[in-house]
Amino acid sequence: MKQTFTIPLFALAIVLFFNACKSDVKKEQLPTNSKSQQSFLKVAYADGFSIDINGNYPIIKVNKPWPGAEQAFTYAVIPDSILPTITYPADAYDAVITTPIKKLVVTSTTHIPALESLGELDKLVGFPDTKYISSMPARERIKKGLIKELGQNEKLNTEMTIALQPDVIIGFSIDNQNSTYSTLEQANIPVVYNGDWAETHPLGKAEWIKFFGVLLGKEKQADSIFTHIAKDYNATKKLAQNKTNNPTVISGALYKDVWYMPTGESWAAKFIADAGGNYLYKDTKGNGSLALSIEAVLQKGTQADYWIGPAQFTAYQEMNAANPHYQQFKAFTDKKVYTFSNTKGLTGGLLYYELAPQRPDLVLKDLVHWLHPDLLPNYSPYFFTPLR
């Protein structure tokens, strides 16, 4: 879940929050009851992929592997039992994935929760930058050497990856310039792009579990899991929308002289709106981040009731030391600043970056709990906690 930009690494944390690509916290058990395949094939919220059937095998079309992509990618998922009977033009698909998949490599922590939810984590044999993985079952497999370290996402160790002989690589990229993927494809290892991070609707990101469901033969289970998440999200949203008082909200923080804040059409802004918050920058266009001066934010945001997502900051003292101007904000002095940066995994990765895209229902409950304390008084937050 990354995005094309030229700002420094510090600001990456802010942009990732706005577009969303880690700690042992409790997770709700999701149902695994099945629905019809016809119901599953409907992609309701995501605009980055679609699913179709070509005769007796599914087709995945990835329309938006990254923002501004000028081409779509089409993948055929064909059972090995019928592969010898299938004929198609050589250029019909960008990749053909033969199932059942026995081994795979994924390249973003946002892919891990889907594998875990579907009971397919044992298929994962390699990952770049394993230190960022927070899933405890995955960390156990890393410790046992069952998930190999493969370098960096856009510079995968090709020799090690090829040696693992995965049936497919789930790729993540900010553009189509990843030469490493081309090398792996030349070694007859199919690469399939996953664009979950480019979605702007919270449920759109979560719906990519259906993408994994098709690849892993868990279509009905993936549909059932997503249906539960969407139902829970929409019920929480309805609860919050019944409130007549909408507290004002700001977000982001300064990097040097620039305050990065989510645009009004971004993932983060959608969460605030659905949680019954009045985001002060809701009318700004675009789905990335704004680059503002401290003077501009002081003029508009000093009286905001809440401050959600102050970048990487975890404590008031830390913020004050970074810039004393933060003291001029009402949310800061009233101690109503909430961060996901205190919720970390065993190796220091942020759980929010890994799990939140698949569990927007939990993110929304967190925000409703803080913005409207009377609505979910007994709820225990997963991601967002008060600044220390």
Supply the pLDDT for residue 41. 65
DSSP for 262-282, written as a single string: E-TTSHHHHHHHHTT-EETTT
The token pair at 242 is 């019944």
Supply the pLDDT for residue 160. 95
Residue 149 has φ and ψ, to the nearest 5°, of -75, 125
Sorting pLDDT into bands at 50, 70 and 90, what band is 40? very low
Residue 266 has φ and ψ, to the nearest 5°, of -85, 170
CATH topology of 9-231 equal to that of 242-386?
yes
Rounded to an integer, what distance in angstroms lies between the CA atom of residue 232 and that of residue 362?
9
What is the residue extent of each domain of the chain?
A: 9-231, 242-386
CA 12 to chain centre: 14
User: Does 3.40.50.1980 match the CATH number of domain 9-231?
Assistant: yes
Architecture of domain 242-386: 3-Layer(aba) Sandwich (3.40)
Helix 267-274 with 219-241: angle, nearest 10 deg = 60
Contact 315, 332 (CB under 8 A): no
The token pair at 25 is 């916290």
Closest to 48 in 3D by CA, of 171, 188, 155, 194: 194
Query: Per-residue pLDDT tens for 162-216?
Result: 999 999 999 988 877 778 998 999 999 999 999 999 898 999 999 999 999 999 9
Q: Sign of the C-alpha dihedral, residues 91, 153, 5, 313?
A: positive
Q: How many CA atoms lie within 13 A of 281 on its CB side?
A: 31
Each residue of 363-372: b (16+ CB within 10 Å) or e?
bbbbbbbbbb
Bridge-based pairing state of the strands 148-149 and 124-127: parallel
pTM over 0.85: yes
Query: Per-residue pLDDT tens for 131-174?
Result: 999 999 999 999 999 999 999 877 889 999 999 999 999 998 88
DSSP for 178-189, written as a single string: -HHHHHHHHTT-
Supply the pLDDT for residue 173. 83
Average pLDDT over the chain, rounded to whole? 88
Sorting pLDDT into bands at 50, 70 and 90, what band is 56? confident
Cα distances from 383 to residues 281, 366, 373, in angstroms, run: 23, 7, 16
Sorting pLDDT into bands at 50, 70 and 90, what band is 34? very low
Letter for the amino acid at 237? K
- pLDDT above 90 covers what percent of the chain? 73
Cα torsion through 323, 327, 331, 336, rounded to 10: 80
Rounded to an integer, what distance in angstroms lies between the CA atom of residue 62 and that of residue 313?
35
